[in-house]
Structure 1
Amino acid sequence: MIYTITFNPALDYIVSVDDFQLGKTNRTTEETILAGGKGINVSIVLRNLGFDSTMLGFIAGFTGEEIRRRLVETGYHTELIPIKGTSRINIKLKSYDGTEINGLGPEIDSENLQMLLHRLDKLQPEDILVLGGSIPESIPDSIYKDIMVRLSDKNILIVVDATKDLLLNVLENRPFLIKPNNHELGEMFGVTLNKRSEVIPYARKLQERGARNVLVSLAGNGAILISEKGEVFESPAPKGRLVNAVGAGDSMVAGFLAGWLESGDYGKAFRMGVAAGSASAFSELFATREQVDELLNQI
C-alpha cells in the first residue's frame, strides 16, 4: 500500500488576474478551488496513473472539512485526523507564475502528533510512504527524521519531498527517493543552479550523504536523476504550453513511483516522472494517464 502524509493540507485558491496591480482592486478572470498539499497532490496523480493510496495528515475547521469532503466525494481514501483550528487557504496567482500566498495552518499538539505516529506503526513491510511539504511551526523540523527512525525496522520505502532542514535531516536514514528542485538544492549549498550539468555534482553530494535516489526538477529545463545504481539520467522538459505549475513537482514524484512500481526500472521511472510533471504543468488540473503516455514519446 502507498501512504502519503500532508501535515498542512490546504484549499488551493488558484486565480488568474489580468493586469494585476498592487494597491488597487483586482478582479479574477478565472478561478479554481482544489484540495491541496504535497502528499494529497501525489495521491491524486497516483490514482490518475492507476495506483491507489491512503492520504494521512491533519485537517481543522470549516476549511479542513471542505478539504475532506472534496476528497471523499471524489473517491479518495483518506484518514485525515480532525484537530482544533482552521486548515489554511493558499492563494496561487496564475498570472504571475510561481507567485503564491500560503497560509500558516493550525497548531498540531503532541497528542495530535501521537495519533498519527500510532497510525504509522501499523504500516507493513514494503509499504511506501511519501513525506511531503511544509509543516506547521508547532512541529519540530526533525519530524520527518523521527518518522523514519520510528519505522526503520519495517523495510518501508520512504520518499521525501521537502526543503532544507526537513530534507537534510533525513539523509543519513537512507530515504528511497528525495526530490528537491534546483532552487532548493542550490539553497542547501549556497549556490545558484540553473543548468542540468550544474545540478549533477550537488545531487551526488546528497546521495553521498545517504539518499538512495535523487530526483531534481528544473521546471522548464527538465530534470535529472542520480539512481542508487550510479546511473545518471537527464532530460529536457517536453514541449508544451505552461498552464498551471501548481503541483508539477508532486506529479513528478507520483509519476516516478508509478513508473518504478510498473517496471522496477529507474530509467522508466524517471521518464514517467518527467512526463507526469510536465503533463500537470500543461493542464488546468493534474496529469492523466493518457496525457502522460502521450508525453512519454518526447522523452
Structure 2
Amino acid sequence: MIFTVTLNPSLDYIVRTHRLTPGALCRTQNEALYPGGKGVNVSLMLARLGLPSRATGFLAGDTGALFEKLLHSSMIEQDFVQLPAGRTRINVKVRADGETELNGAGPAVGEAALGSLGERLDALQPGDWLVLSGSVPPGLPVNIYARLIARAAKKGAKTVVDTSGDALTHALSGSPALVKPNLDELGAAVGRPLRTPEEAATASAALQRAGAKAVLVSMGGAGALLLPEDGGALLAAAPAGQARNTVGAGDAMVAAYLTAAAHGLSTADTLRYAVAAGSAAAFCDWLPERDAVETLFAQIDSPRPVCYNK
C-alpha cells in the first residue's frame, strides 16, 4: 500500500482570464475547484495509473468538509485528521498570460493532532511506501518529516519526500528512499544556483551524502535527472508540447516513479515514465489520464548518462 501525507492540503480554485490587470475588474473564462495539496495529487495520479493509495493529513472547518466531499467523488481512500479549529486553506491559481498563485497559510496543527496522524501511519507494513509532500503548516516543527520517516522505518516502510527548504534539509537525516526537488529547490538545498545537468547531478550527490538514497530532479522543459542509489546519473529530455499547467507536474512524476517501481521497470524506463507523467500533467489543465502518459512515454528517448563530481 502507498500512504500519502499532505500536512497542509488545500482547495485549489483555478480560474482562466484573458488578462490579469491588478486594480481592475477581470472576468474569467472558466473556473474549476479541485482537492489539492502535493500528497493528494500523488494519490489522484496513482489512481489514474492504476495503483491504490490512502491519503491522510489534516483538515479543518467547512472548507475541509468540502475538500472531503470532492476527494470522495474521485474515489480516493482517505483518512484525514480533523482539526478542532481553523479552516483548510484555499489556493487561488489565476491563469492568464502566465500563472499567478495566491496560496493560503492553512490552519495550525497541534501535538494532539500530530499524534492522531502517527496512529494512522501505524498501519504501515514492510514494503509499503510513505509519500511526504508539501509545505509544513503552522504549529509543526520543521523536522516533522524526519520524525515521520523514522516512524515509517520502524514499520519497514520506504519513504518519498517532496518538500523544500529546512523541511527538506532535516528530512535527509532520515535516509528517505527518494527525494524529488525541482531545480530551484535543489539549488537552495546546496546553497548555489544550478544551471546545467552536470551541476544538478553534483548537487544531487550532495543530497545522497546527506542521507537521501535516490534523487529525482524535475527540470521543467529540460526534462528530469535521476541519481539512483546504486548507479550513475541519468537525464531524460522532455517531449515537445505546449505547457498549460505547472501545478501537479512534480506530483505526477512521484506517482509515476512509484508505479514504475511497482511494475519492476528499469532505472532508465522509470525515469522515462516519470518524465512522461510530469509532461502530460504540464500539457493539460489538471492531472492527466493514463493514456496520455503512455503516449508520451513512447516518445521519450533513452536517458543519457551525466558526468558529475561525487
1:24 aligned counterpart, secondary structure? coil
Point out 4+ residue stretches in structure 1 off by more than 3 angstroms.
none
Check if 1:82 corresponds to 2:82: yes
| Pair 81,236 (structure 1): closer, same or farther in 2 beyond 3 Å | same
| Structure-1 separation of matches of 2:111 and 2:283 | 41
| Structure-2 separation of matches of 1:164 and 1:49 | 30
Q: Which runs of 5+ in 2 are unaligned?
A: 301-310
Check if 1:65 corresponds to 2:65: yes
Structure 2 residue aligned with 1:186: 187
| Contact kept? 1:194, 1:218, Cα under 8 Å | no
Q: Deviations over 1:164-188 (max 9, x none)?
A: 1111112122101000000011112
| Structure-2 separation of matches of 1:115 and 1:194 | 42
1:14 aligned counterpart, secondary structure? strand
| Pair 164,96 (structure 1): closer, same or farther in 2 beyond 3 Å | farther
| Structure-1 separation of matches of 2:26 and 2:96 | 12
Q: Deviations over 1:110-162 (max 9, x none)?
A: 11111011111221111110000002121111100011122322221100000
Structure 2 residue aligned with 1:32: 32
2:68 aligned counterpart, secondary structure? helix
| Structure-2 separation of matches of 1:203 and 1:46 | 25
| Structure-1 separation of matches of 2:230 and 2:97 | 39
| Contact kept? 2:44, 2:74, Cα under 8 Å | no
Shift of 1:98: 4.8
| Pair 255,108 (structure 1): closer, same or farther in 2 beyond 3 Å | same
After superposition, residues 216-231 of structure 1 pair within 5 angstroms as 216-231=217-232
- With 194-203 and 120-129 compared, the bigger mean Cα shift is at 194-203
| Contact kept? 1:193, 1:199, Cα under 8 Å | yes
1:56 aligned counterpart, secondary structure? strand
| Structure-2 separation of matches of 1:70 and 1:219 | 29
2:153 aligned counterpart, secondary structure? coil
Structure 2 residue aligned with 1:20: 20
Q: Which runs of 5+ in 1 are unaligned?
A: none
Shift of 1:266: 2.1
Question: What is the RMSD computed on CA atoms of the aligned residues?
Answer: 1.3
| Structure-2 separation of matches of 1:80 and 1:153 | 22
Structure 2 residue aligned with 1:8: 8
Structure 2 residue aligned with 1:265: 266
| Contact kept? 1:245, 1:280, Cα under 8 Å | yes
Structure 2 residue aligned with 1:166: 167
- With 96-105 and 285-294 compared, the bigger mean Cα shift is at 96-105
1:271 aligned counterpart, secondary structure? helix
- With 24-33 and 134-143 compared, the bigger mean Cα shift is at 24-33
Shift of 1:94: 1.9
After superposition, residues 239-258 of structure 1 pair within 5 angstroms as 239-258=240-259
2:176 aligned counterpart, secondary structure? coil
| Structure-2 separation of matches of 1:31 and 1:195 | 37
Shift of 1:298: 1.8
| Structure-2 separation of matches of 1:189 and 1:212 | 16
Shift of 1:231: 2.4
1:4 aligned counterpart, secondary structure? strand
After superposition, residues 186-205 of structure 1 pair within 5 angstroms as 186-205=187-206
| Contact kept? 2:55, 2:80, Cα under 8 Å | yes
Shift of 1:74: 2.1
| Contact kept? 2:122, 2:155, Cα under 8 Å | no
1:169 aligned counterpart, secondary structure? helix
Structure 2 residue aligned with 1:281: 282
Structure 1 residue aligned with 2:110: 109
| Structure-2 separation of matches of 1:151 and 1:257 | 17
| Pair 113,68 (structure 1): closer, same or farther in 2 beyond 3 Å | same
Amino acid at match of 1:249: G
Shift of 1:96: 4.9
1:263 aligned counterpart, secondary structure? coil
- With 90-99 and 224-233 compared, the bigger mean Cα shift is at 90-99
| Contact kept? 2:18, 2:97, Cα under 8 Å | no
Shift of 1:21: 1.1
- With 25-34 and 135-144 compared, the bigger mean Cα shift is at 25-34
Structure 1 residue aligned with 2:235: 234
Shift of 1:262: 0.7
TM-score by length of 2: 0.93
Alignment: residue pair count: 299
Identity of aligned residues (%): 41
TM-score by length of 1: 0.97
- With 115-124 and 129-138 compared, the bigger mean Cα shift is at 115-124
Q: Deviations over 1:6-53 (max 9, x none)?
A: 111101011122221112121212211110000000000011001010
| Pair 96,40 (structure 1): closer, same or farther in 2 beyond 3 Å | farther
